Amino acid sequence: MTSEQFDDALFRRKRKNGTYDVIEAPDLPAFVADTHAHLHMLEDPSFSIARAACCGVRFIEGILDVCEDDLSVMDEFALWTRQAAVRVPRMVTVMYCCKPAPRVPKFRFAVGCHPHNAKDFDEAAEARLIEVLHDPRVSAVGEIGLDYHYDLSPRDVQREVFRRQIRLAKEAGLPVVLHVREAHDDAFAILSEEGFPEAGTLLHCYNLGADELRRWVDEGCFVAFGGPVTFKKADDVREAAAIVPRDRLLTETDAPYMTPEPLRGMKCGSEHVVFTAAKLVEVLCADDPFGAEDLLKQMYDNAVGLLDRPLTVWQKGE
């Protein structure tokens, strides 16, 4: 039996003998948001959604790729949410918090072409992206950017596709969600040339030190931290989090990847964002433990303010 097959909201870590240890989740004093999750890649998305509800996750930004995913999966999220709502009452009978009563999270979506797939971003893909950006469920263009680590698409193609999507986001009045790996200089240069979107720029899965982050912060970017901020040897990431203005700090998972400690190595769901949020509270409120609730509320407000904003002109059909 895998941890996912327990139909309750408890977190479990598998032991070598095949049994499980129950891991106590942080009992946070405010709601949290997961600003980056590929929940459609999980075997049982409704399980993750239900457990997230029990843990106080009230908003999730789903991430879809216009070249890789069937965008009709957005319709499936409505079904998974209904299924999750049925599962929640059973789950809370074994939960240790749930105050106030849990409610399934709201979903919005970011859609774009990941730099890995830039080689496949042809005119048809661009047309699909333009069409879906008119959908009121979509609130951002992403994840887009550059990845020079894997180089799954030629770098010149990555740069061109990145530019095209920045322009589309600006035309649509939507923020961008960035994926940048070993390419921060080029990504920053392109955004500087094209102009950072007025609707906002979200630097996803930041896992470098403070020195690199400063110029992005100076440009007004939002910065999302996920599992890496909890890793034992990630002091530089935690130091970077400390320089982000609190009104631009976000929490995320990148589910099903980047599971935070103490469950690292297991498949990640949106519910795991509570461990990341707790670590940020620990780091940023070390000298002010009474500020934990304020920090959590600020991070949640940042998420919904950026990603659950009212419809754009495109989406209103004006």
In the chain, where the domains are located? 31-316
pLDDT at 141: 98
pLDDT at 100: 65
Architecture of domain 31-316: Alpha-Beta Barrel (3.20)
C-alpha–C-alpha distance, residues 201 and 150, integer Å: 23
Structure tokens given for 280? 């940020």
pLDDT at 223: 98
Mean pLDDT (the chain, rounded): 94
C-alpha–C-alpha distance, residues 140 and 78, integer Å: 19
Query: What percentage of the chain carries pLDDT values higher than 90?
Result: 86
**Global pTM exceeds 0.85:** yes
pLDDT at 99: 55
C-alpha–C-alpha distance, residues 9 and 7, integer Å: 7
Partnered with residue 21 across adjacent β-strands are 13
Q: Does position 97 have pLDDT exceeding 50, yes or no?
A: no
What confidence tens digit (pLDDT) does each residue in 124-175 have? 999 999 999 999 999 999 999 999 999 999 999 999 999 999 999 999 999 9
CA distances for 43 relative to 38, 63, 309, angstroms: 11, 16, 30
Model confidence band, residue 93 (pLDDT cutoffs 50, 70, 90): low
What confidence tens digit (pLDDT) does each residue in 191-231 have? 999 999 999 999 998 989 999 999 999 999 999 999 999 99
pLDDT at 308: 98
Model confidence band, residue 96 (pLDDT cutoffs 50, 70, 90): very low
Regarding predicted confidence, which is higher, 273 or 91? Answer: 273
Regarding predicted confidence, which is higher, 8 or 236? Answer: 236
Structure tokens given for 87? 């599962």
What confidence tens digit (pLDDT) does each residue in 230-267 have? 999 999 999 999 999 999 999 999 999 999 999 999 99
* Gyration radius of the chain's alpha carbons: 19
pLDDT at 172: 97
**Strand 32-37 with 20-23, pairing:** unpaired
Side chain identity at 190, as an amino acid letter?
A: I
